[in-house]
Amino acid sequence: MDELSTATAMRRWRAKAQTPVALVPTMGAVHAGHLALVADAQRRCASVVVSIFVNPLQFAPTDDLDRYPRDLDGDLAVLRAAGVDAVFVPSAATFVPADLATTVSVAAVTDRFEGASRPGHFDGVATIVTKLLSVTRPAVAVFGQKDYQQLLVVRRLAADLDLDVEIVGVEIVRDADGLALSSRNRYLSAIERGRALTLSTALRTTADLWTGDAEVVRSALRSLLADADIDVEYADVVDAATLAPLTGMGHRSARAIVAARVGGTRLIDNWPLTR
Binding footprint of ligand AMP on the chain (CB under 6 A):
26-27, 33-34, 36-37, 143-144, 146-147, 170, 172-173, 180-183
Smallest separation (angstroms) from ligand AMP to the CB of 254: 19
Active site residue 121: no
Smallest separation (angstroms) from ligand AMP to the CB of 138: 14
Smallest separation (angstroms) from ligand AMP to the CB of 213: 28
Residue nearest to ligand AMP (CB): 144
Smallest separation (angstroms) from ligand AMP to the CB of 79: 12
Which amino acid makes up residue 96? V
**Which of 121, 251 has the CB closer to ligand AMP?**
121
**Which of 13, 148 has the CB closer to ligand AMP?**
148
**Which of 218, 255 has the CB closer to ligand AMP?**
255
Catalytic, out of 31, 34, 121, 251: 34
**Which of 138, 144 has the CB closer to ligand AMP?**
144
**Which of 26, 206 has the CB closer to ligand AMP?**
26
Smallest separation (angstroms) from ligand AMP to the CB of 271: 13
Which residues form the catalytic set? 34
